[in-house]
Structure 1
Amino acid sequence: ENGSEEEADGGAGDRAANATAELLEHDMGLGLPFRDGAFDGAVSVSALQWLCYDNDAASSAPRRLNRFFASLYRCLRAGGRAALQFYPENDAQAALIAAAAQRAGFAGGVVVDFPRSTKARKHYLCLSTERRYRAPDARDAAGAPQRRGGGAVDRRGRRLRRRGSHEPFEQVDAVAGGPRDALGPGPPRG
C-alpha cells in the first residue's frame, strides 16, 4: 500500500487521540456558569424535572427553575435555541417549568410525543431567544405531521375557549392547565 493510515484519514485519528476535553459538574439550579452568548444551542435529556424539587428552604423549585432559565437565556447567543426533553410528574410541574422559561424571555412551546401513552409519552420544551419562534410540529412514527392541539383543555380533557385575541402557545397535544397557556402567545398567523 502507498501511504500510512494517518494519510488515509487525513490525520483525524491522531488528532482525536490527542484531543482534550473539559468536564464540568455543576448544579444547574444555581445557574449556568458560562459567559454570555457562549452557545448557539443547548440540549438536555431528562434533567429539567429534577429542578422541580426543593433542596432546602433557601432553594425552592421556582427559584431553581428561574435561575436555570435566566442563565440559559443569557448563555445563548441571539437567535439561540434549546431542546429540553423532560418527564413532568404532573400537569402542575409542566406548567411550573413552562412559566419559568417564559419569565426568562424565551419563546417556544412544548411538543408532547405519544400524548396518549403512559409509557412512551415524552415532553420536549423547544425554546428560542427569538420572540417569533414557533415550536416544531410533532411527527408520527412514519414521519407524518400529527394534529396540533386546538387549544387548552381542562382537567377532564374538554377544550377551553380562547379569550380575546390570545393565540395559544404552540403544542401538539395540550397538557391540561399546563404549558400551552403558561408560555403565552405563539407567533402571529397569516
Structure 2
Amino acid sequence: MAYLDPRPANPAEALTELLAGNERFVNGTRVHPHQDAEHRAAVATAQRPFAVVFGCSDSRLAAEIIFDRGLGDLFVVRTAGHIVGVEVTASLEYGVTVLGAPLVVVLGHDSCGAIQATHAAMTGTRLPGRELGAIAERVTPSIWQANARQITDYDEVGMIHVRRTVENLTRPGTELGDAVAAGRCDVVGMFYRLADGRVSVLAAESAGE
C-alpha cells in the first residue's frame, strides 16, 4: 500500500508542515494525523518520514506530539542536551541519505537540565559523575561561547547550543554538510518553550556575532 498523503517534497514544505502542526498543538486544534489503523498498515512495510528531528531527551519534548504528527512522519533521534556522537551522526545521516527526508531539525528547549548541569560542573557546584561527564563535555563549548559574549541566561545559552549543534552537523565535508550544499536537505535549529508549547526557528548567526 502506498503512503497515504503526499509527503512534503522539499525543505521549505517540510518546515511549513512542522510549524503548522505545532500551531495546532499550541491552539488545541490537533488533528492527530496518521494515527489510525489504516495508516499503521500503510507504513508497516516501509517508512518515508518527511523530517528528521534531533532533540533533547527531556520527557516534555515528544516530537510527534508537539508537531501533531503520527506514524511514519518523523524520524526521531534524542539524547540529553541533543549532544552529538558517532551513533547520532550516523542516525541523522540515515534519515537523509537512506530515507530521503528533506529536513533535519535540531530541537532545543528552555529550562534544559543538561545546560544547567554542565554549568554546575564547570563552576564546581556539582560534579557531573562518570556517565554525566560525557554530556557536560559536549555542552561545555556552548557555555564557553556564551561566556565570551557575556551571556549568562540559561535559555539564551540553550539557543547558542542549538546553533552550534547545527553548525557542527553541517560542516563542509560531512555527509549532512554535503547534502545541504547539494540542496538535498536543510538543517534548521528550533527552540521549544515548555509552558506555551510553541517552537521558534532560530536564524543562523553571522560570523561577527
Shared topology, TM-score over 0.5? no
Higher Cα Rg, which structure: 1
TM-score, structure 2 normalization:
0.28
Higher helix share: 2
Higher relative contact order (CA 8 A, sep 6+): 2
